[in-house]
Amino acid sequence: MKKSQTNRNPIARFDASKNGTVPDCLAKIEAYMRSLNAAEKKAAKYILKKPGDVIDMTISELATESSVSESTVFKLCRTLDFNGFRDFKITLARQYGESNSYSIDDEPVKKRDSAESLTQKSFHASIDSLQSSLKTLDYGELERAYKALKDAKRVLVISVGMSRTTSLFAADKFALFGIDAVAATDIHVQAMRASLLTPKDVLFAFSRSGDTRDIIEAVKIAKDKGATIIGVTNSLRSYFAKLLDIQLLVQSKISRFKGDVLASRIEHICLVDVIYLMFAARNPKKAAAHCGNILHAAATKQL
């Protein structure tokens, strides 16, 4: 498999317009949130909560309302790759001129919430994650991921912690299409399997935060072996993202319940499903043959 050229600037890739559109500025704030300092986060969170109000504000008014300095607001705009606050406002007005809210903090769950209320809040958070991911995902990168997987001799899928089920799902989906894919969720096994990869292979890694040490170490091992690295992450500015050959950026709501480490991975699962659909849609005869074999094998397990 011929390895594609790596873009060494992940932010430039996110900003690059493939279809003449401007990247969604509020989704972009969420993508950068982890890398902002405390003051910048205050201004960013205010913008996300009240984009409609910000459109009509001056830089000093936004600074006052968010309790930061004007220089902090300007620095935030430059971090987001705008020329300044005015440039940011123009884009914001075009994209959210009629929007009154884009809060990263969903309505909090309460002790008195009914089952219906909790279900509504949980489901809406998942829907918001998918909608945000649609705005941040680079479809050019998705095409490159498809090609790399299609040409790969072997695929190693890795994750740790609460993402382990996602990697198992991904390996199963890829394998069901005839790709030689396996999942490794044990950190020692990940390192050992990564050391056996070659330039013809792909490492497909999940790291929601982008700063999981064990995943990063496995990625480094695989890179040293010449494997193509595909990564799914929610943090574009992370060290993990900078190591990737192909970056699949998604977004999720993480504040359904304060301190919840079991945050949704729905956007990761749906992304895997999209890749599987790309294989099925573009290789219909092969997909039909595999489905036939799978249904026949599964039928023997039924009463």
Each residue of 191-248: pLDDT tens digit? 999 999 999 999 999 998 888 999 999 999 999 999 999 999 988 778 899 999 999 9
The answer to whether residue 5 sits within a structural domain is: no
The CA–CA distances, whole Å, from 23 to 20, 56, 70, 91, 208 equal 10, 21, 24, 9, 21
Co-location of 75 and 158 in the same domain: no
Co-location of 64 and 146 in the same domain: no
The CA–CA distances, whole Å, from 144 to 2, 40, 141, 231, 246 equal 12, 34, 5, 12, 7
* Separation CA 197–CA 204 (nearest Å): 12
Q: What is the pLDDT of residue 263?
A: 63
The answer to whether residue 125 sits within a structural domain is: no
Co-location of 80 and 199 in the same domain: no
Residues of the chain with pLDDT under 50: 2, 4-21, 99-105
Total domains in the chain come to 2
From 105, 123, 154, give the residue that closes a domain: 105
The answer to whether residue 115 sits within a structural domain is: no
* CATH at 66: 1.10.10.10
Co-location of 182 and 66 in the same domain: no
DSSP bridge pairs for 246: 230
Co-location of 95 and 204 in the same domain: no
Co-location of 97 and 141 in the same domain: no
How many Cα atoms occupy the beta-carbon half-sphere of 106 within 13 Å? Answer: 21
Co-location of 60 and 199 in the same domain: no
Q: What is the pLDDT of residue 15?
A: 44
The answer to whether residue 113 sits within a structural domain is: no
- Count CB neighbours of 269 within 10 A: 15
At 116 the three-state DSSP class reads: helix
Residues of the domain holding 154: 137-299
Q: pTM for the full model?
A: 0.74
